[in-house]
Amino acid sequence: MRPRAAALLVSTSALLAVLASACTSATATAPTAATATPSLAPLPRDSSRPVDPNFDRGQSVEITATTVVPKQLIAAAGFPVVWVNHSGTTQDIHFDNVENVDSGPIPPNGTWSYTTKLTISIVYHSTVDPTIHGAVQMQPLTGP
């Protein structure tokens, strides 16, 4: 094999390996007890400004008795997004546009997390109360 063809073959193989590792399937973790501490967020919320109940950046969603806060979240792909149930009743989060993703029961004050390396938009709702719904946009983590 000629040197140029060999170099092209090695470069192509390396590119395919990188692409394969970036496209791993999404993983979900089981609900955890209310005392669990979620992972540190790679996109911390700016506590100096008030929470916009409709839109925010970060890695967590609060489930209340009537809604989720924020309704739309931009989160870093590759890090867990954590749903915290402050609704007072058991909740169950179901992804509308990602196959086979359902949190199972999240007890009051419990948490559930979902992690994917993919850049995707997730639309979800509570199966207990379908009026509780929101969206998460998973984006690659970029520098400052």
User: DSSP letters along 45-87, please?
Assistant: --TTSPPPTTEEESSEEEE-SS-EESSEEEEETTS-EEEEE-S
Q: Which domains does the chain have, with CATH numbers?
A: 43-144 (2.60.40.420)
pLDDT, tens digit, 9 for 90 and up, residues 57-69 = 899 999 999 999 9
pLDDT, tens digit, 9 for 90 and up, residues 84-128 = 999 999 999 999 999 999 999 999 999 999 999 999 999 999 999
Is 43 buried (19+), middle (13-18) or exposed (0-12) by CB count in 10 A? middle
70 has pLDDT over 70: yes
Beta strands 60-63 and 68-69: pairing type? Answer: antiparallel
Structure tokens of 135? 């969206």
Residues in the chain: 144
Residue pair 82/61 in contact by the 8 Å Cβ criterion: yes
Of 142 and 11, the structure prediction assigns the larger pLDDT to: 142
32 has pLDDT over 60: no
Strand partners, 135: 72, 123
Q: If you search the block for the tokens 């092209």, which residue do you land on? A: 8
pLDDT value for 143: 63
Q: How confident is the model at residue 133 (pLDDT cuts 50, 70, 90)?
A: very high
Q: What is the mean pLDDT of residues 25-43?
A: 40
**Helix, coil or strand: residue 26:** coil
